[in-house]
Amino acid sequence: MSFIATSNPGTAQKDIISNDGFFPDISIQTLRDKTRIDGTVTDDRLIDATVAAIIHVNNQLQTFRQKQMDAGYQHMAEVPAAQVNQSSVLIAHYFRAVYCTAKADLIERYADYDTTATSLDDKKLVGWLSSGPDEQRRNAQWAISDIIGRSHVTVELI
């Protein structure tokens, strides 16, 4: 019988990763819940992957950020945008980009787990790993594209 921890005590101390002031801060617990990352991923590893994801996404949105700040918006939440569930769609896309990028990084780093799926818990792990970092990165890029108003696919005739 194998044991998989499903929560990490002590997360509350370092639950929020502060961002640059323009983009929203990221809650580690919310990221865990939304991406179904369980306690087998330690807080330290999740924080490391999330910080790297924030850096990557913020770099991708550097021009967007500067344009909005030049227009007088000091925070992404201030930028006029459609609202869904009483929140800016830009914020929703930003969270998705960060969450998907962090999960892709974690999937790649946890790929050295046994993938023979000899138990029910192993089968769940294999399913988690098989969702693939490529799909997560695609979702992140689509979210970034939605923020900057770029289409998801570019097709050119040769």
H-helix segments, 14-82: 28-35, 43-60, 62-70
8 Å CB contact between 16 and 28? yes
Identify any residues that bridge with 101 across adjacent strands, giving them in sequence order. none
Residue 72 and residue 67: Cα distance in Å, rounded? 9
Q: Which amino acid is at 109?
A: R
pLDDT (tens, 9 = 90+) of the chain, 158 residues, equals: 444 545 544 444 579 999 999 999 999 999 999 999 988 899 999 999 999 999 999 999 999 999 999 999 999 999 999 999 999 999 999 999 999 999 999 988 876 554 555 555 555 555 555 558 889 999 999 999 999 999 877 566 76
Tokens (6 digits) for 83: 């609202």
At residue 145, the 3 state secondary structure works out as helix
The torsion angles phi and psi of 62, rounded to 5 degrees, stand at -60, -45
